[in-house]
Chains A and B, each alone.
Chain A
Amino acid sequence: MSSYYGRPVIKEPTWTWQIPTYFFTGGLGGASSVLSLSATLFGNEQLARRALYIGALADAACPPLLIADLGRPERFHHMLRVVKPTSPMNMGSWVLLASGGASSTAAALERLGRLRPLRHTAATVAALFGPALATYTGVLIADTAVPVWHEGRKELPWLFGATAAASAGAAACMAVDPEHAGPARRLAIGAVAADIALMRAMELRLGEVGEVYRKGAAGTLGLAAKALAGAGATVLAKRGGRSRGAAVLGGALVCAGGLCLRWSVFKAGFQSARDPKYTVGPQRARVEREGTKVTTQPKA
C-alpha cells in the first residue's frame, strides 16, 4: 500500500485527558440518574437517594472537564448558540445541560428535604436525558473520519451504554448498604458481561481496522479494562451481598475498568488516525470492490 512518506491522511484528534474522563463521568452520571429513578419506582429509598447523589456529582464534573479541553474555554457557551442535529457534540451539550441541570436540582432538593414534587420532576427529567448522556458519546466519536471509530459506529453507543450501566451499578454498590444494593449489584454484573461481549464483538467485526485494540496503549488499557471489570464483577457476585468491604472493592474495580475501557477506545482512535494504512487500506479495498466516483479516469 502506498502512502505519502508514511504520513497520516487524516488528523489525530486534539482532545486531551479530559475527554475520556468525561466519557466516564457522563456515562456514570447518566446511568445513575436512571438507576435512581428506577429505585424510587421500586421503593428502594436508600438506593434512590444515593444513586441520585452519585449522578449529580458525576454530572457536575462534566462541564469543567469539557471546558478545560477547549482551545478557547471562555467561549464554552458558544456550544449553545445553535441547535444542530448533525453535530453530536452540539446535541450532547444540550443533553448535558438538561440532564446535569435536572440531576443537580433534584440532588439539592433531596439534601434540603424541600419541594418534594419538584425534586421528583427534576429526577424524572434527569432520568429521561440520562440514557442519551450515557450513549451519545459513542455517536460523537463514531461521527469522525477516524477509521476505528467510524467503522465501530454500530457498537460504540451500545458499548458506552453498557460501560455506563456497569459504572453506575458499581458506584451504587460502593455507596449503599449490601442489603439494599441488590439491583445495583445485578446491574453492575450484567453490564460488565455485556461490556466484555460487546468489546469482543466490535473487535471481531472491525477486522484489520480493529487491530489497534490489540496494540500499544489501546491494547494495554483494553486488557486492563477487561481484567479490572471482570475481577470486580466476580468480587461483587461472590461477596458483594454480604460484605460492605467486598462491595466497595468490587465496585471500585468495575469503575476502574470502565475508565480504562473509555481510555482504550480513546487511544485506539489516535493510533488509528496516525497510521495511513488504516485510512487508505479499507478505502482502497472499497474502491476495488464497489468502484468510486472520487477519481475520474480517462475515457478509453
Chain B
Amino acid sequence: MSSTLGHPAAAPDGWDAYGDDQQPRVGFFTDTSVCIGCKACEVACKEWNLIPEDGLSWTGESYDNTSALGANTWRHVAFIEQEKPLHTNGDGSTGLRWLMESDVCKHCTHAACLDVCPTGSLIRTEFGTVIVQQDICNGCGYCVPACPFGVLDKRHIAKPPELPAFHGNEDGRVWKCTLCYDRLKGGHEPACAKACPTQSIQFGPLDELRERADARLAKLSGEGWNGVQLYGRDPDDGVGGFGAFFLLLDDPEVYGLPPDPIVTTKHLGEMWSSMAAAATVLVAGVACAFIGRRR
C-alpha cells in the first residue's frame, strides 16, 4: 500500500516495494514543437490496446474531433490555432501559429487516482507507471474526479461478451493509459511512441528524458521560440513530477492542462483531522442535548 501523506520522497509511491523486480522508471517526453498533428499516436494506441470506438462527431474545434482523454481515448491530440508569432525574435513569421500537442496520462509520482482507489485496483508497476487492474476495478468512479488532469473515466459502452450477463449492459470499469504495460513487459516501447513519425513522443528512462528535455528547452529558447516551457519535468511540483511530461509552446491551460495541479491527498491529513474534530463535536453536541431541561 502506498501513501503520499507528507510526501517524503521524490520516488513514485509504491515503486520501491518491488525490490529485485524493480525496473528503471520509464515515461514519455512529449515534445509538442515537432508534433505535426497526424494522430498516429491516437490510432496506434486504439489499435494496440483494443480500445472500442466511442462515437464520431464533428466539433469544429480545429482538427480536433477527439476532444479529451477518457475511458476510450488514451492519447489525445490537441489543436490550437493562434494569432501569435511562432518566434519572438522578429524572423518575419506571419503572426499565426498552429499548436499541436499529444496529451496522455501523466503517470504522476504522487498519483491521486492510485491513492484514492478503494479496491487497490490502481497500482504502481515495477516501471514506476500507474495502471488499472481490470480484474479488480469495481467501477466506483472515485479516481475519476480525483485526477487533477481529468484522465480517467468510466467506460459506458457495451460490455465485452465474455462477461456475465447480470451486471448490466455496460463495461462499467475505469480505463486509462497503461503506458503499454504489456509491451514494456516484452521489452518494447509503447505503441504511441513507436508510431510517432517525428519523435514528438519520446519513450525512455525518465532521467534520460529529463536531460533530453532540458537540452531541447535550451535550444528552442536560444532560437527564440515563443512561450517555450517544460510541463511536469520538475520532481518538486504538486504531483512530484510527471512520468509523462511535455514541452509546450504556451501556458498549460491553453492546451486544457491545469496550470498548477496538486495531488488531492496532499491535504488528506488535515481533512482527517477536521473530520476527527467534527465527529468529536457531534458526540458532544448529542450529549449536550440531554443535559439541561428534562422532558
A residues bordering B, Cβ < 8 Å?
A: 1-5, 7-15, 31, 34-35, 38-39, 41-42, 44, 69-76, 78-79, 81-90, 93, 131-132, 134-136, 138-140, 142-146, 149-150, 153-154, 156-158, 160-162, 164-165, 169, 179-184, 186-187, 190-191, 194, 241, 269, 273, 276, 279-280, 283-284, 286-287, 292-299
Q: Find out whether the CB atom of B275 lies under 8 angstroms from the CB atom of A296.
A: no
Smallest CB separation, A241 vs chain B (Å): 7
Seed contacts A14-B141, A71-B173, A284-B260; 17 additional CB < 8 Å A-B pairs: A7-B68, A70-B139, A70-B140, A75-B139, A89-B140, A90-B119, A131-B280, A139-B275, A143-B146, A143-B264, A143-B271, A145-B264, A156-B274, A190-B288, A286-B260, A292-B237, A295-B231
Query: Is B116 within 8 A of A35, CB to CB?
Result: no
Within 8 A of A (CB), among B4-27: 4-5
- A90→B143 CA distance, assembly (Å): 12
Please indicate the chain B residues that have their CB under 8 angstroms from the CB of A181 in the complex: 295
| Contact yes or no, A298 B286, CB < 8 A | no
- Least CB distance from A58 to B in Å reads 15
Q: From the candidates B4, B67, B140, name the one contacting A86 in the complex (CB within 8 A).
A: B4
With A89-B142, A143-B116, A296-B234 as given contacts, are A165 and B259 in contact (CB-CB < 8 Å)? Answer: no
- Our pick among A79, A179, A269 for the contact of B119 (Cβ within 8 Å) is A79
Within the complex, what minimum Cβ distance (angstroms) separates B39 from chain A? 16
Encode contact with A along B51-72: 1 for CB under 8 Å, 0 otherwise.
0000000010100100110100
A4 touches B145 (CB 8 A): no
- Is the Cβ of A15 less than 8 Å from the Cβ of B141? yes
Check: B270 CB closer than 8 A to any chain A CB: yes
Cα–Cα, bound, A150→B271 (Å): 10
Q: Is B181 an interface residue (CB 8 A)?
A: no
Within 8 A of A (CB), among B59-88: 59, 61, 64, 67-68, 70, 78, 80
- Which residues on the B side are within 8 Å of A179 (C-beta)? 295
B144-172 CB contacts (< 8 Å) to partner A: 144-155, 164, 166-168, 170-172
Given known contacts A87-B142, A89-B140, is B149 in contact with A284 (CB within 8 Å)? no
Q: Judging by beta carbons under 8 Å apart, are A42 and B290 in contact?
A: yes
Inside 8 A of B187's CB, which chain A residues have their CB? Answer: none
Question: Which residues of chain B have a CB within 8 Å of any CB of chain A?
Answer: 1-5, 59, 61, 64, 67-68, 70, 78, 80, 112, 115-121, 136-142, 144-155, 164, 166-168, 170-174, 217-218, 220-221, 228-234, 236-239, 248, 251-261, 264-265, 267-268, 270-272, 274-275, 277-283, 285-290, 292-295
A-B contact pairs, 11 of them (CB 8 A): A11-B70, A69-B141, A72-B167, A73-B168, A75-B139, A135-B282, A145-B147, A157-B274, A165-B286, A280-B253, A294-B237
Give the complex CA separation of A145 and B112 in angstroms: 9
Please give, as numbers and ranges, the residues of chain A lying within 8 Å of B221 by CB-CB distance. Answer: 298-299
- CB proximity of A300 to chain B, nearest CB, Å: 9
A298 to B223, CA, bound (A): 11
Q: Say yes or no: B289 contacts A186, CB within 8 Å.
A: yes
- Contact (A31, B153) CB under 8 Å given A78-B138, A153-B267, A294-B237: no
- Contact between chains at A3 and B285 (CB < 8 Å): no
